[in-house]
Structure 1
Amino acid sequence: MKLLKDKRNLLIGGIIIGVIAFMLPLFGNPKNMGFCIACFVRDIAGGLKLHNAAVVQYIRPEIIGLILGSFLIAVVTKEFKPRGGSSPVLRFIIAAFVMIGALAFLGCPFRMIIRLSAGDLNALVGLLGFTAGVAVGAFFLTKGFSLGRYQKQSSVEGVALPFANIVLFVLFLAIPALFAFSEKGPGSMHAPIIISLLAGLIVGALAQKTRLCMVGGIRDTILVKDTTLLFGFVSIFVVMLILNIATGNFNLGFANQPVAHSDHLFNFLGMALCGLGSVMLGGCPLRQLILAGEGNSDSAISVLGLLVGAAISHNFSLAGVANEGVKTNGRVAVIFGLIFLVSIALIKIYQVKKEEAR
């Protein structure tokens, strides 16, 4: 009965989230970008002047809403549980590489599904790479990979990131001159602030209650043949596919897709890096935001890693370029990231085996 209830909740939650993700571009967000954790965190990094890519600078209320929506529903339902302390430095670095991989592809797993629902076949290549990365990560889990056990922490630690987001939003409204704003490009395209914030709050609350996670769905399918968590993203895809076809927004193919490129190898490898790193962190970028809202300081560290990874991507020209592809710097970074994460996983597995042998 619980399994059926979980699937039902994920289906309903996915439908609502899919409708919201479809509506946001109608209110001003970039096309096929109702939600994109990687893109929106990148824009926030630009808004905070952590990078100087003028076309991707804006404090995205959707991200603030996701964290606060999760926080509020967790507090109300008594699921707010401050915890953390598991390999914080490694988590930070892994999260930075997750962001580098996602921005090489030009989207997080959430946007990958959104792009696919609009007919962007480059996203199908990304999905194959993402699945491959998650599969490798799942294999490492079976061999004993772990970043360690978390511990209970104080409430102050748990509320730190939600509180920081409240402060950021107040400053964004009260003293906008503190921040950078794109005058053209994706960063200049956004829904009205109140709509963006409400969308984030609703999706954050739904994602917290349903445990929505693309990585978790594929990982669980591979490891224990449990497809429950996939229901959420399948329902997002289906409802957005129907809406895109009904409104003429469906464009099947590789070419002429908004904020996308057809560098197939690095669409694949970029999302493989994102998938592998996300398994090592214990969830996709969306899930990290939701867990951070619940009081998980490990995920809060991961969110900060995503933010810095976005800044690094644009300061060092690692991100993919729409309609062009991934340049040399980005290709080197993605390949190095894959080697680095595999090395970390193998070292951690060796340490676990060594401890077990004692």
Structure 2
Amino acid sequence: MGLKNGKTEILVAGLAIGIIAALLVLFGNPLNMGFCIACFLRDTAGALGLHSAANVQYIRPEIIGLVLGSFLLATFRKEFSPKGGSAPLTRFVLGFFVMIGCLMFLGCPFRMILRLAGGDLNAIFGLVGFVCGILLGVFFLTKGYSLKRTYQLPALEGRLLPIIQVVLLVLLVAAPVFIHFTEAGGGPGAQHAPIILSLAAGLIVGAVAQKTRLCMVGGIRDVVLFREWKLLIGFVAIFVSALVCNLILTAATDGTYFNLGFAGQPVAHTDGLWNALGMLLTGFGCVLLGGCPLRQLVLSGEGNTDSAIAVIGLVAGAAFAHNFGLASSGEGPTANGKIAVIIGIVVVALIACFNTFRKDTAKA
């Protein structure tokens, strides 16, 4: 019965993804950051010169692989469907503020799970805020929130973001002088697994996420709305397998892949309130978008240009955050970042209200 309703499939997928994330750290990615959509989009934005934070500049092959893995499997399964036109500018703004929330916490929902699996107890505050944000979004869903319908588009529209990923891969390998890379020892941007391994990992995770519809936001949302646990099982499996791998790696190597506590965690801060509020903004915005950052990339690979616009919003948010001092660091959140998160919560709430309680006066 489990296989029939997809629970076994997503369980196996989650276990595999957790192992892949742990192994990426073993082969060079930053600790507790085998996969982080927000961090990797930020690094890519820096490599393209969209921000000048020299310690986080690298075209991440995992992002390229995620989109292409989803695109290839969707095409093979005849599920590639170019569509869009559902409130694109609103989705851009939501993506922008989701990234602001992620960079306050220092990670996306995916990394939140990996931080927990690495023993980072600060992520508990993030998880609490994330759940609260999703509950806010679910409230508006139950009241009729909608960004209206999408429309079928020419095939080229749906293929543009995958094509852009191929261009980014060429730039990564060719490394022309106008692409910025963090110097060795200069920060998280200099910590990365080999290109071919990272790309392969992204392709696998992208394909698996396309097949299973894996989504952290969708998992919690579906539990609240429908008492359906299938999607959430996937992220529980990621946590369990990453935790087990971290414990094994810590015992078998000289590295510290599991460090239980609050202080001294890699690429993290200990301000519980702002960890929670950052992820509240992320969860709230993701519900209104229809999925977490991972899901937006996967949908982009399937030809959904609305999700592609949300991804562009995420990239813009990352660039803006580092150009204007909004992103947190290991020292904690910045004053500008706190203001931006509060503004983000207000803006996302207004978007939710307008698209839930507005009165359509247009006549057919």
Q: TM-score, normalised by structure 1?
A: 0.97
Tell me if the contact between 1:320 and 1:330 (Cα under 8 Å) persists in the aligned partners. yes
The 3-state SS of whatever aligns with 1:253 is coil
5 Å matches for 1:149-168? 149-168=149-168
Q: Distance in 1 between matches of 2:299 and 2:190?
A: 29
For 1:127, the equivalent position in structure 2 comes to 127
5 Å matches for 1:273-288? 273-288=281-296
Residue of structure 2 aligned with 1:272, choices 280, 295, 315: 280
Q: Distance in 2 between matches of 1:8 and 1:151?
A: 34
For 1:339, the equivalent position in structure 2 comes to 346
Q: Distance in 1 between matches of 2:334 and 2:60?
A: 27
Q: For this pair of structures, how many residues does the alignment match? A: 356
Matched, 1:330 2:330: no
**Structure 1 residues 299-349: Cα deviation after superposition (integer angstroms, max 9, x where no partner):** 000110000000001001101111x11110000000010011101111111
Residue identity matched to 1:265? L
**Structure 1 residues 128-175: Cα deviation after superposition (integer angstroms, max 9, x where no partner):** 000000010000000111111111111010101001111121122224
Residues 22 and 244 of structure 1, relative CA distance in 2, 3 Å threshold:
same
Q: Distance in 1 between matches of 2:215 and 2:132?
A: 16
For 1:79, the equivalent position in structure 2 comes to 79
Deviation at 1:4, TM superposition (A): 4.1
The 3-state SS of whatever aligns with 2:66 is helix
Deviation at 1:5, TM superposition (A): 3.9
The 3-state SS of whatever aligns with 1:177 is coil
Q: Distance in 1 between matches of 2:111 and 2:29?
A: 13
Residue identity matched to 1:188? A
Q: Which runs of 5+ in 2 are unaligned?
A: 251-256
Residue identity matched to 1:213? C
For 1:237, the equivalent position in structure 2 comes to 239
Matched, 1:204 2:212: no
Residue of structure 1 aligned with 2:311, choices 303, 321, 329: 303
Q: Distance in 2 between matches of 1:215 and 1:203?
A: 17
The 3-state SS of whatever aligns with 2:221 is helix
**Structure 1 residues 18-68: Cα deviation after superposition (integer angstroms, max 9, x where no partner):** 110000011111011000000000000000000000000000000000000
Residue identity matched to 1:181? F
Residues 73 and 330 of structure 1, relative CA distance in 2, 3 Å threshold:
same
For 1:260, the equivalent position in structure 2 comes to 268
Q: Distance in 1 between matches of 2:118 and 2:172?
A: 32
The 3-state SS of whatever aligns with 2:119 is coil
The 3-state SS of whatever aligns with 1:207 is helix
Q: Distance in 1 between matches of 2:161 and 2:136?
A: 31
5 Å matches for 1:1-358? 1=1, 4-183=4-183, 184-248=186-250, 249-322=257-330, 324-351=331-358, 353-354=359-360
Tell me if the contact between 1:130 and 1:273 (Cα under 8 Å) persists in the aligned partners. yes
Q: Distance in 1 between matches of 2:114 and 2:265?
A: 12
More off after superposition, 240-249 vs 278-287: 240-249
Q: Distance in 2 between matches of 1:13 and 1:176?
A: 37
Residue identity matched to 1:174? A
The 3-state SS of whatever aligns with 1:261 is coil
Q: Distance in 2 between matches of 1:15 and 1:65?
A: 19
Residue identity matched to 1:331? K
**Structure 1 residues 161-216: Cα deviation after superposition (integer angstroms, max 9, x where no partner):** 00111112112222432200011100011011101100100100001001000000
Deviation at 1:246, TM superposition (A): 2.5
Tell me if the contact between 1:3 and 1:228 (Cα under 8 Å) persists in the aligned partners. no
Residues 160 and 235 of structure 1, relative CA distance in 2, 3 Å threshold:
same
Deviation at 1:241, TM superposition (A): 1.3
Q: Distance in 1 between matches of 2:60 and 2:238?
A: 21
More off after superposition, 93-102 vs 246-255: 246-255
Q: Distance in 2 between matches of 1:27 and 1:3?
A: 33
Q: Which runs of 5+ in 1 are unaligned?
A: none
Q: Distance in 2 between matches of 1:210 and 1:28?
A: 28
Q: Distance in 2 between matches of 1:80 and 1:86?
A: 18
The 3-state SS of whatever aligns with 1:247 is helix
